[in-house]
């Protein structure tokens, strides 16, 4: 499903933990790392595609995550000419237009798996600092990652602040230790 400008509709998924770190996944059998992403099928909404890709790529279900935000607009990147399939029988795809979702993982890390479907996209993952992916992703995706992370920085840092305040409250909330007079 390629649009008239040559862009394939796609969803990008940024999963964060309560510390504001993001899930960074290693492509199966490769040395490249990226956020989970995938195409939107005909008749699917971006949110439906996001949940499908979330399960297919990292084994997470809707009740394992909470949607914090989605990008207001499509973010686009062009493929390098060497990656364009000029001999494709379908319309030529020159890049991807992506709707990004920011999710908070509310399940245990152990729920993240790569064997939910028969052809894993990834073979490793780790939590990384929020801006780390912008410096590490393949160059042609760098600007899209920067834009998505910038748009999501407010809800992510609000989540981090909220969790930090909860920790601080817990640390300073002490119950008096009364001795019983006998």
pLDDT of 123 reads 96
pLDDT beyond 60 at 173 = no
Nearest Cα residue to 159 out of 69, 61, 78, 70 = 69
pLDDT of 154 reads 86
Enumerate the β-bridge partners of residue 10.
39, 98
**Residue 23 tokens, joined:** 């899930």
**Residue 128 tokens, joined:** 């990384």
pLDDT of 90 reads 80
pLDDT of 163 reads 66
Q: Mind listing the pLDDT tens digit for each residue in 62-100?
A: 999 999 999 999 999 999 998 999 888 888 999 999 999
Q: Mind listing the pLDDT tens digit for each residue in 134-157?
A: 999 999 999 999 999 999 998 776
Worst-scoring range by mean pLDDT, 14-23, 51-60, 95-104, 167-176? 167-176
**Residue 141 tokens, joined:** 């995706």
Average pLDDT over residues 128-136: 97
Which domains does the chain possess?
Answer: 7-165 (3.90.79.10)
In Å, how far are 24, 139, 172 from 132, measured between CA atoms?
9, 13, 33
Q: How far apart are CA 93 and CA 25, in angstroms?
A: 24
Q: Tell me the pLDDT band of 179, cut-offs 50, 70 and 90.
A: low
What's the distance, CA 145 to chain centroid? 10
pTM of the model: 0.86
Average pLDDT over residues 152-179: 64
Average pLDDT over residues 55-60: 97
pLDDT of 28 reads 96
The H or E element containing residue 135 is helix 132-136
Q: Mind listing the pLDDT tens digit for each residue in 19-49?
A: 999 999 999 999 999 999 999 999 999 999 9
The H or E element containing residue 14 is strand 7-16
At which residue do the structure tokens 């195409």 appear? 39
């Amino acid at each position: 499903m390629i649009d008239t400008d040559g862009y394939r509709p796609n969803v990008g998924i940024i999963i964060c933990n309560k510390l504001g770190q993001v899930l960074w996944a290693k492509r199966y059998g490769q040395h490249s790392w990226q956020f989970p992403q995938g195409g939107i099928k005909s008749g699917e909404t971006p949110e439906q595609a996001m949940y499908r890709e979330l399960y297919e790529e990292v084994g997470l279900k809707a009740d394992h995550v909470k949607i914090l935000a989605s990008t207001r607009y499509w973010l686009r990147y062009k493929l390098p000419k060497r990656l364009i399939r000029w001999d494709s029988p379908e319309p030529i795809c020159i890049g991807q237009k992506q709707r990004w979702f920011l999710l908070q993982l509310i399940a245990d890390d152990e729920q993240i798996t790569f064997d939910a479907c028969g052809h894993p996209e990834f073979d490793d993952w780790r939590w990384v600092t929020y801006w780390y992916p912008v410096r590490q992703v393949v160059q042609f995706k760098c600007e899209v990652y920067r834009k998505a992370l910038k748009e999501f920085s407010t809800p992510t840092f609000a989540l981090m602040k909220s969790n930090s305040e909860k920790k601080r409250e817990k640390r300073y909330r002490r119950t008096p230790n009364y001795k019983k007079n006998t």
